[in-house]
Amino acid sequence: MITYKNIMENMVEEMYEKMKDSLGCCQCERCHNDIVAYALNRLPPHYVVSRSGALYAKTFTMEKQHEMDIATEIAKGAMLVRSNPRHDEERSCPA
């Protein structure tokens, strides 16, 4: 079976993992997902087609400009989440 995948999702997740300790905000699942969703909604999708079960090939290489664009949107998302976290007060996570 041939499937498609938006590899921008993987690239944003990878960049978030590299940046998360320097973002200065909560790293709970809700805040993580809010930051990643914020970035993905502001970056163009990049779909690739592959066979089911096969590892996807990154045809879209992480060029410096792409890295900068992704990092910028993650940082903006982190600022927004830091100023208005959506996790419960009693379940608040330290920065």
pLDDT tens, position by position, 33-81 = 999 999 999 999 988 887 654 455 554 556 788 899 999 999 999 999 9
Alpha-carbon Rg for the chain, nearest whole angstrom, is: 15
Helix then strand count (H, E) for the chain reads 3, 2
Domain layout of the chain by residue ranges: 2-52+62-83
What pTM value is reported for the model? 0.82
88 has which bridge partners? none
pLDDT at 53: 44
Query: Which residues, 6+ apart, have CB-to-CB distance to 90 below 8 Å?
Result: none
